[in-house]
Chain A
Amino acid sequence: MSSLLECKNLSKSFGPVRALDKINLSIGRGRIVGLLGPNASGKSTFIKICNDLLTPTEGEIFINGHKPGIETKKIVSYLPDKNYLNDWMKVSDIIDFFSDFYQDFNKDKAYDMLSRLGITANQRLKTMSKGTKEKVQLILVMSREAQLYLLDEPIGGVDPAARDYILDTIIRNYNENATIIISTHLIADIEKILDDVIFIREGQIVLSKTVDDIREETGKSVDSLFREVFKC
């Protein structure tokens, strides 16, 4: 199986701080991967490097054989950990904007998801709650027919019912050529839908295994193992 994402000795330093420290990873297609770690472990830094928002200090990263850049942005759909959409825009404006911007954007899918979550398309972003804005952002990201989805804390700000819907959406949109990487610390909620988990601490990978292997070998859920490994 050819890997979709590959990094070799990937490192990133911010001054004296080593945010990523010699990461070696190979992630195949058709996987749902959880990138799990406590705060400040390097999760967002890793995802930002994948999106060419940060450049590595050392090492290399390839997505579908390319270094992060124009070619990879065509096939990577990214949900950042903050809101970057213009507040004055209506949802329908943003959908038009996205479909102009990305060739693989599926408008029908976006409108379908909006109606399921009870969000009206002519509403302006600034009139929305924090949770609703997050839902809109996730809908935009999941409406692309991308090969790699990078979701940075996608379920943090939404209520449990919407969280279930979002996880359902991820399962429903699953396609064997696409991989989804989800960074989160809400592990119990998502571990059932993950193939693999990667534990990251202080910029280093401490564990990379399938969920079922972890359960088989330790007799514990990923959530309890995480609490053990990262005990403060």
Chain B
Amino acid sequence: MPWDLKSDRPIYAQLIEQLELRICSGVYPLGSKMPSVRDLAQEASVNPNTMQKALSKLEEDGLIYTNRTSGRFVTEDIDVIHKARNKLAQEQVQEFLKKMIDLGFKYNEILSVINEMLKELKK
């Protein structure tokens, strides 16, 4: 998964989103050890202080925890991950809905477009 960072938003906020995405999608599985700050910073080509800040926020939110002697780990609490996953999904749908409304779609039209697309996907 490449690190996709836009240039007009704070890097810190984008790193949080991308780390959440990686945790929810299992790139960093439940209970696994996270790479070091330095490795993550290098992978994303960002400043280690910024990466550190993003990881601290995830720790505050309970998605990861620090074991003083052995590093950072992804939480083992599946509920926390489900919540984060739902939050990410809601953000995606919100963004999508906003664009559809800007395009002039009505409620029913949006649903029918989604239904059709889902049928296509099943094939």
Residues of A at under 8 Å CB distance from B? 30-32, 164, 167-168, 171-172, 174, 188, 191-195, 211-213, 215-216, 219-221, 223-224
Most buried by A among B9, B13, B38, B48: B48
Could you tell me if A193 and B46 are in contact, using CB atoms closer than 8 angstroms?
Answer: yes
Q: Which residues of chain B are near A219, meaning CB under 8 Å?
A: 8-9
Q: Within the assembled complex, what's the spacing in Å between the Cα atoms of A172 and B48?
A: 9
Could you tell me if B50 and A174 are in contact, using CB atoms closer than 8 angstroms?
Answer: no
Most buried by A among B12, B13, B41, B47: B47
Could you tell me if B47 and A195 are in contact, using CB atoms closer than 8 angstroms?
Answer: yes
CB distance from A229 to the nearest CB of B (A): 16
Q: Which residues of chain B are near A221, meaning CB under 8 Å?
A: 7-8
Could you tell me if A215 and B47 are in contact, using CB atoms closer than 8 angstroms?
Answer: no
Number of interface residues of B (CB under 8 A): 17
Any chain A CB within 8 A of the CB of B115?
no
Most buried by B among A30, A167, A174: A174
Could you tell me if A212 and B8 are in contact, using CB atoms closer than 8 angstroms?
Answer: no
- Chain B 48-65 against A: per-residue CB contact (8 Å), 1 yes, 0 no? 111000000000000000
Q: Which residues of chain A are near B41, meaning CB under 8 Å?
A: 171, 174
Q: Which residues of chain B are near A215, meaning CB under 8 Å?
A: 8-11
Q: Known: A192-B5, A195-B47, A195-B50. Contact between A171 and B42, CB under 8 A?
A: yes
Q: Within the assembled complex, what's the spacing in Å between the Cα atoms of A162 and B13?
A: 28
- Chain B 7-37 against A: per-residue CB contact (8 Å), 1 yes, 0 no? 1111111000000000000000000000000
Q: Within the assembled complex, what's the spacing in Å between the Cα atoms of A7 and B95?
A: 47
